[in-house]
Amino acid sequence: MPCNQIKFAFLFFFLSVSSYAQLGFCNGSKGSPIFTEDFGNGTTYGPALPAGVTTYTFITGAPQDGQYTLFYHSNQFTTWHYSLDHTPDATNGPNGKMLLMNANAVTSGDFYKKTVTGLCVNTTFEFSAWLMNVYNPTTNYCGAGQIPINVRFEIWDATETVLLRSGNTGNIFGSPTPLWQQFALVFTTTNQTSVVLKMKNNGLGGCGNDLAIDDIS
């Protein structure tokens, strides 16, 4: 596959090894994506993600702590918002799905992991994704003890022995109405033609810390 200036997705916030990188979007031409993930469509749960993509456990139904599912709406519990995926019926047909994670402090492994190849060296790329805290604070289920979502992003070299970049989203609390938010970061390669992207839980266990992820590109 020829290398392109592409959109990857899902880095909300980005921290370089020695300093904070600027949060924002690429102002120039982004080119055609070589990696996109919208999780398909349908009204049934699943399917499970391929082996190695996440360290969480797939469940056909509402995910408990340390579990995940794919479904076309987010209302898996009465305390979670009802929302369709980020682009309902727009890009991936009727009943587009999203990745729903029930995070906890024990399972702090990978929400999502992806190896991306075909990158141009010394080229600027934009990483972006859409994320939602699915907890509905108007239910008052967690009271003042609501645990926000907080996600750590890491970019490793192809051997996963050298951490190239890392950063956290910071705390994202539940909102009174469903709120999809897009986050992006501009990143310039040096001699890398492939990288491994990892999204990890950086939040605490307890009441809350539940999220939806969609339209990784």
pLDDT in tens, 107-123: 668 999 999 888 888 87
Q: What is the pLDDT of residue 109?
A: 82
Range scoring the smallest mean pLDDT among 18-22, 33-37, 173-177, 209-213? 18-22
Q: Are 129 and 182 in contact (CB under 8 A)?
A: yes
**Segments of the chain assigned E as strands:** 57-58, 67-71, 98-102, 110-116, 124-133, 151-156, 163-168, 181-188, 195-201, 210-214
Residue carrying structure tokens 């009204």:
43
- Pairing mode of beta strands 67-71, 57-58: parallel
**Long-range CB contact pairs, 75-82, < 8 A, 24+:** 76/100, 76/134, 78/139, 79/135, 79/136, 79/139, 79/141, 79/142, 80/134, 80/135, 80/136, 80/210, 81/132, 81/134, 81/135, 81/136, 81/174, 81/177, 81/178, 82/178
Q: How confident is the model at residue 95 (pLDDT cuts 50, 70, 90)?
A: confident
CA distance 178 to 9: 21
Q: Are 137 and 174 in contact (CB under 8 A)?
A: yes
Q: What is the pLDDT of residue 192?
A: 85
Average pLDDT, the chain: 82
Residue carrying structure tokens 């994704």:
129
Among residues 209, 198, 169, 201, the alpha carbon closest in space to that of 185 is found at 169
pTM of the model: 0.85
Range scoring the smallest mean pLDDT among 45-49, 90-94, 114-118, 120-124? 90-94
Per-residue pLDDT at 215 exceeds 90: no
Q: How confident is the model at residue 71 (pLDDT cuts 50, 70, 90)?
A: very high
Q: Could you confirm whether domain 57-214 is CATH 3.90.400? A: no
Say which amino acid occupies 134. Answer: V
Domain ranges (residues) in the chain: 57-214
